[in-house]
Amino acid sequence: MDILGGRTVKGVNFVGLKDAGDPVVLASMYSEKGADELVFLDISATEEQRDAFEPLVYEVAKTLSIPFTVGGGIRSVEKVGRLLHQGVDKVSVNSSAVMNPELVSQISNVYGSQCLVVAIDARFENGDWWVYTTGGKKKTNLKLLSWAKECEERGAGEILFTSMDHDGTKAGFANDVLSELSQCLSIPIIASGGAGTIQDFINVFSNGKADAALAASVFHFEEIEIQQLKQELASAHIPVRL
Catalytic residues: 2, 121
Nearest residue to 54 via CA among 78, 37, 30: 78
Q: Residue 128 and residue 47: Cα distance in Å, rounded? A: 25
**pLDDT tens digit string along 40-87?**
988 766 556 555 567 888 899 988 999 999 998 899 999 999 999 999
Helix axes 226-235, 23-33, angle to 10 degrees: 40
**pLDDT tens digit string along 186-201?**
999 999 999 999 999 9
Backbone phi, psi, residue 94, to 5°: -135, -85
**pLDDT tens digit string along 142-170?**
999 999 999 999 999 999 999 999 998 99
SS3 at position 169 = coil
**Amino acid in the structure at residue 146:** S
Enter the pTM of the model.
Answer: 0.91
Q: What is the DSSP letter of 186?
A: S
Structural domains in the chain, sorted by start: 2-235 (3.20.20.70)
